[in-house]
């Protein structure tokens, strides 16, 4: 496929039919509407309790006060759970976390709405909260819902008992991964406006317009046809704007509907951090049986997730982590049990990777632990067990094409010069290398197959310009560029002819959520379907106009060609003739993931229709004096099927890797009794350019027959291997296992002060050496020029 002739980027600019920018596009936070009111959430400051009253009279006397709405004002169903119906739109009997919304306060300005929301008094009988997975799992009464188990999934395959008996080594380990805050640049927000027909129009910073439409319909008892939801240019999402906007938009829509006036609600950063979903914390136990040579024979894996107060997307996270719990390896005997438990913490939900980064941390740390136990090189151990064509995944899915796992491992290892690793000459700094290999099921998988379809609508205008609408969205990942490029390629026209329209629920049928690396695969195939229909119409008109056979018409390089006599026709003339001859000028394309053969009870079969593969290798320096970990370089090799837009792929790889670095090292999310403490950039440390180090992207192409032009997804795989690669590198540097993240300096220093495994005995003595050898007048410590020189200590 030819490279794009122009770049749309982060949707900062609209592009017209000729490919020219039409000016900066505003985010919903900046948009103003006539007669617009402002709203703020009213929520519980208690993590668990019985709600028996609300008093908004302290706010009512303020001249800026307009209205207050609670559960009793909802005309339809007070329910916003996206998969499991366990979450009220507004809590009316029980509050289950600090941030559980009980109402919405509407005022004349945003500032007064925020101020007056604090004056609403909540009357709550406090109940004992539950914060940890262990507390929730072990509880025998006072459950948060009917039970404390939010959801569960499993894989049961082969003869585990016999396989463990035949194993030469049985190795066990436990791992922990933490919360992660999405920290998108633009917080949650929307504008809800009543329509003249009694409906609602919503403009929001959202990932899934169709989710919002369904939620508003349920709460307001309005037909879908009267609810239009449009995605505003969105300043980041990462999964955090999949289901949460259903809450935000529906509450604002309730106020707008009741007041018959536009209502805008934008979360402040502190509220956004406290009220919205996070990445699931996991605790994992792995028991793996292997042969002396390193062949994996059996695995018994327990995954436990903290779901927070409501299930939200926990079912998807539990499913995906279970299906990929032992990674891209051949393993005939396996048991995986994945369970999510309710607690009185903010809900955990969709976050880039849907449980795959957590599972990858488990299986890739486990692979390194096995390699150390057997004294086998970590790359060689993976090569012995890696998936290839005509092998089966842990769920028994036999792979027939596009299995690039081995190539990503070999290309990354070659680029990193794995067999000739560098060693620090300064004993204060310990160099470590770590590898991580993963696979990621594209799209929604067997559990979400019923909704795994997507549409694209292409319209040719009489002047030759073309507009395309698609059911998924742009959120900074470059979707608009690729949609433009794929449409141009499918039709044989110049990309400058094409305008990609904003996504809304009126343009195309429900195309599901913009998640799970679906965009290129789903939209690309829908575009190809639409293009096939449209090209038939265009060629019939061209054959009539040029007086030739239909099969003699080609449309390529923006020109209509009669191959019999080499006569050409400008595309504009064909478009005009199409209009004048009363032919259809727009078509709807649709594509659905192929049907999957999957046994949900046992977790056996085709869990996904195809997989992306990736290997990350990290080189780190561990400062034994300060405990700091510095990323020197990460080599990131990704099997993308077919690289439709290489520059966009590299941007995704770099962005995902940076986000994985933050999760592994700097983003130490803290709560105290259910209250988020790290609710700003002073306390929640996102990685900066100085923290990320060098990233080398390596693109492997192993085309997927079902993918558009052979392409597969990249958005999620970019983050999944990173944390495990870094921690494997840190473990390699220290000579001892590190089995939880984030890896913070305090934990490094603690590990160094514990009894060493014998690989780095001199590390713990370096600080003492510095102190004892310091000369009179010499500074105690200088980060840039440490003294004394290496040969002194």
**What is the per-residue pLDDT across 387-435, written as a single tens digit (0 to 9) for each?**
999 999 999 999 999 999 999 999 999 999 999 999 988 999 999 999 9
User: In degrees to the nearest 10, what's the CA dihedral of 340, 344, 345, 349?
Assistant: 40
The structure's pTM equals: 0.92
Q: What is the pLDDT of residues 430-445, one digit of tens each?
A: 999 999 999 999 999 9
Angle between helix axes 356-374 and 378-385 (nearest 10 degrees) is: 110
Q: Report the pLDDT value the prediction gives residue 213, as an integer from 0 to 100.
A: 98
Residue 199 has pLDDT above 50, yes or no: yes
Please name the fold of domain 282-445+600-772.
Aldehyde Oxidoreductase; domain 4 (3.30.365)
Burial of 737 (0-12, 13-18, 19+ CB in 10 A): middle
Residue 9 has pLDDT above 80, yes or no: no
Residue 235 confidence class, pLDDT cut points 50, 70, 90? confident
Across 751-757, average pLDDT: 71
Residue 469 has pLDDT above 50, yes or no: yes
Q: Report the pLDDT value the prediction gives residue 30, as an integer from 0 to 100.
A: 84
Across 538-549, average pLDDT: 96
The candidate with the shortest Cα–Cα distance to 605, out of 441, 759, 435, is 441
Range with lowest mean pLDDT among 8-22, 269-283, 304-318: 8-22
Q: Report the pLDDT value the prediction gives residue 29, as an integer from 0 to 100.
A: 79
Task: Cite the residue boundaries of each domain of the chain with CATH code 3.30.365.10.
Answer: 17-24+453-592, 282-445+600-772
The overall average pLDDT reported for the chain is 92
Phi, psi of 311 (to 5 degrees): -70, -35
Residue 782 confidence class, pLDDT cut points 50, 70, 90? very low
Q: Report the pLDDT value the prediction gives residue 772, as an integer from 0 to 100.
A: 46
Q: What is the DSSP letter of 665?
A: I
Cα three-residue angle 735-737-738, rounded to 5 degrees: 120
Q: What is the pLDDT of residues 264-305, one digit of tens each?
A: 999 999 999 999 999 999 999 999 999 999 999 999 999 999
Encode 662-690: b = buried (16+ Cβ within 10 Å), e = exposed: bbbbbbbbebeebbbebbeeeebbebeee
The rounded percent of the chain whose pLDDT value lies above 90 is 89
Sign of the alpha-carbon torsion through 636, 640, 646, 649:
negative
Q: Report the pLDDT value the prediction gives residue 744, as an integer from 0 to 100.
A: 96
Across 476-484, average pLDDT: 93
Distance CA 87, CA 52 (A): 18
Q: Report the pLDDT value the prediction gives residue 755, as an integer from 0 to 100.
A: 57
Residue 756 confidence class, pLDDT cut points 50, 70, 90? very low
Across 656-676, average pLDDT: 98
Q: What is the pLDDT of residues 239-253, one digit of tens each?
A: 999 999 999 999 999
Phi, psi of 187 (to 5 degrees): -70, 175
Residue 781 has pLDDT above 50, yes or no: no
Residue 25 confidence class, pLDDT cut points 50, 70, 90? low
Give Cα 150 distance to the centre of its chain. Answer: 21
Distance CA 388, CA 109 (A): 60
Contact 84, 92 (CB under 8 A): no
- Please name the residue that has the structure tokens 């609670």: 70
Residue 72 has pLDDT above 60, yes or no: yes
Q: Report the pLDDT value the prediction gives residue 21, as an integer from 0 to 100.
A: 31
β-bridge mates for residue 116, sequence order: none
Q: Is 337 designated active site?
A: no
Would you state the structure tokens that stand for residue 420, as one six-digit string?
A: 């000739």
Q: What is the DSSP letter of 239?
A: T
Greatest pairwise CA separation for the chain in angstroms: 98
Contact 385, 370 (CB under 8 A): no
Residue 313 has pLDDT above 70, yes or no: yes
Q: Report the pLDDT value the prediction gives residue 26, as an integer from 0 to 100.
A: 65
DSSP string, 292-359: TT--EEEEEEEEEEEEESS-TTHHHHHHHHHHTTT-SB--SEEEEEEEEEE-SS--B---TTTTHHHH
Residue 587 has pLDDT above 70, yes or no: yes
Residue 481 has pLDDT above 70, yes or no: yes
Residue 761 has pLDDT above 80, yes or no: no
Give Cα 38 distance to the centre of its chain. Answer: 30
Across 125-133, average pLDDT: 98
Across 712-718, average pLDDT: 96
Residue by residue, what is the 3-state secondary structure of 460-529? ECCCCCEEEEECCCCCCCCHHHHHHHHHHHHHCCCHHHEEECCCECCCCCCCCCCCCCCHHHHHHHHHHH
Q: Report the pLDDT value the prediction gives residue 15, as an integer from 0 to 100.
A: 31
Total count of residues recorded for the chain: 793
Task: Cite the residue boundaries of each domain of the chain with CATH code 3.90.1170.50.
Answer: 31-127+188-266
Residue 31 confidence class, pLDDT cut points 50, 70, 90? confident
Residue 165 has pLDDT above 80, yes or no: yes
Domain 31-127+188-266 bears CATH identifier 3.90.1170.50: yes
Residue 768 has pLDDT above 80, yes or no: no
Catalytic residue among 146, 654, 716, 746: 716
Q: What is the pLDDT of residues 337-364, one digit of tens each?
A: 999 999 999 999 999 999 999 999 999 9
Give the strand order in the sheet containing 49-55. Answer: 94-95, 49-55, 121-126
The rounded percent of the chain whose pLDDT value lies above 70 is 92
Distance CA 793, CA 782 (A): 15
Q: What is the pLDDT of residues 490-513, one digit of tens each?
A: 999 999 999 999 999 999 999 999
Sign of the alpha-carbon torsion through 365, 369, 370, 372:
positive
Q: What is the DSSP letter of 386?
A: B
Domain 17-24+453-592 bears CATH identifier 3.30.365.10: yes
């Amino acid at each position: 496929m030819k490279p794009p002739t122009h770049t749309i980027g982060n949707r900062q600019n609209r592009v017209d039919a000729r490919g020219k920018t039409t000016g900066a596009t505003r985010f919903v936070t900046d948009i103003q509407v006539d007669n617009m009111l402002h709203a703020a959430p009213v929520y519980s400051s208690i993590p668990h309790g019985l709600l028996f009253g609300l008093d908004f009279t302290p706010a009512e006397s303020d001249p800026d006060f307009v209205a207050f709405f609670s559960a009793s004002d909802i005309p339809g169903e007070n329910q916003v759970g996206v998969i499991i119906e366990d979450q009220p739109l507004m809590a009316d009997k029980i509050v289950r976390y600090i941030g559980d919304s009980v109402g919405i306060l509407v005022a004349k300005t945003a500032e007064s709405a925020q101020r007056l929301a604090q004056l609403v008094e909540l009357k709550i009988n406090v109940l004992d909260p539950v914060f940890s997975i262990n507390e929730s799992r072990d509880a025998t009464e006072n459950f948060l819902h009917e039970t404390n188990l939010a959801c569960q999934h499993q894989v049961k395959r082969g003869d585990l008992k016999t396989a463990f008996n035949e194993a030469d080594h049985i190795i066990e380990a436990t791992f922990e991964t933490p919360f992660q805050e999405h920290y998108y640049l633009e917080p949650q927000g929307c504008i809800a406006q009543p329509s003249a027909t009694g409906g609602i129009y919503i403009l929001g910073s959202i990932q899934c317009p169709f989710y919002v439409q369904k939620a508003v319909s349920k709460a307001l008892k309005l037909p879908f046809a009267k609810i239009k939801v449009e995605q505003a240019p969105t300043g980041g999402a990462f999964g955090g704007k999949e289901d949460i906007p259903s809450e935000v938009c529906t509450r604002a829509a309730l106020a707008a509907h009741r007041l018959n006036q536009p209502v805008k609600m934008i979360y402040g950063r502190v509220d956004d951090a406290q009220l919205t979903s996070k990445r699931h914390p996991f605790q994992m136990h792995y028991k793996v049986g292997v042969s002396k040579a390193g062949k994996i024979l059996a695995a018994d894996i327990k995954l436990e997730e903290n779901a927070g107060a409501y299930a939200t997307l926990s079912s998807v996270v539990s499913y995906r982590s279970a299906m990929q719990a032992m990674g891209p390896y051949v393993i005939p005997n396996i048991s995986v049990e994945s369970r999510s438990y309710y607690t009185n913490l903010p809900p955990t939900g969709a976050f880039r990777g849907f449980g795959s980064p957590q599972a990858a941390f488990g299986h890739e740390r486990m692979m390194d632990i096995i390699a150390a136990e057997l004294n086998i090189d970590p790359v060689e151990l993976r090569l012995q067990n890696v998936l290839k064509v005509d092998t089966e995944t842990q769920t028994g899915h036999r792979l027939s094409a596009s299995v690039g796992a081995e190539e990503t491992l070999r290309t990354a290892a070659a680029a990193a010069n794995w067999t000739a690793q560098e060693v620090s000459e300064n004993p204060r700094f310990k160099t470590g290398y770590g590898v991580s290999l993963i696979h990621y099921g594209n799209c929604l998988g067997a559990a979400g197959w019923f909704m795994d379809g997507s549409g694209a609508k292409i319209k040719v205008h009489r002047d030759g310009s073309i507009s395309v609408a698609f059911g998924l969205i742009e959120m900074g990942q470059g979707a608009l560029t690729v949609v433009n490029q794929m449409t141009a390629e499918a039709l044989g026209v110049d990309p400058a002819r094409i305008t990609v329209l904003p996504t809304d629920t009126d343009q195309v049928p429900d195309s599901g959520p913009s998640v799970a690396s679906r965009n290129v695969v789903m939209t690309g195939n829908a575009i190809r379907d639409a293009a096939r229909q449209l090209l038939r119409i265009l060629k019939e008109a061209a054959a009539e106009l040029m007086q030739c056979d239909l099969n003699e018409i080609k449309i390529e390089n923006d020109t209509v060609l009669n191959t019999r006599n080499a006569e050409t026709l400008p595309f504009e003339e064909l478009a005009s003739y199409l209009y004048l001859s009363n032919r259809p000028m727009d078509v709807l394309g649709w594509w659905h993931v192929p049907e999957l053969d999957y046994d949900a009870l046992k977790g056996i079969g085709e869990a996904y229709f195809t997989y992306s593969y990736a290997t990350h290798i990290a080189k780190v320096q561990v400062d034994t004096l300060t405990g700091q970990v510095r990323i020197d370089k990460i080599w990131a090799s990704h099997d993308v099927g077919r690289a439709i837009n290489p520059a966009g792929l590299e941007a995704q790889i770099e962005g995902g890797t940076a986000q994985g670095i933050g999760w592994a090292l700097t983003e130490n999310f803290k709560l105290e009794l259910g209250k988020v403490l790290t609710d700003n950039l002073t306390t929640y440390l996102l990685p900066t350019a100085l923290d990320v180090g060098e990233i080398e992207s390596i693109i492997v192409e192993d085309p997927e027959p079902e993918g558009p032009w052979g392409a597969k997804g990249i958005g999620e795989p970019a983050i999944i291997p990173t944390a495990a690669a870094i921690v494997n590198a840190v473990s390699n540097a220290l000579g001892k296992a590190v089995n939880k993240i984030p890896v913070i300096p305090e934990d490094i220093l603690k590990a160094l002060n514990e009894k060493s495994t014998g690989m780095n005995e001199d590390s713990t003595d370096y600080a003492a050496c510095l102190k004892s050898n310091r000369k009179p007048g010499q500074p105690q410590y200088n980060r840039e020029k440490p003294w004394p020189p290496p040969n002194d200590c």
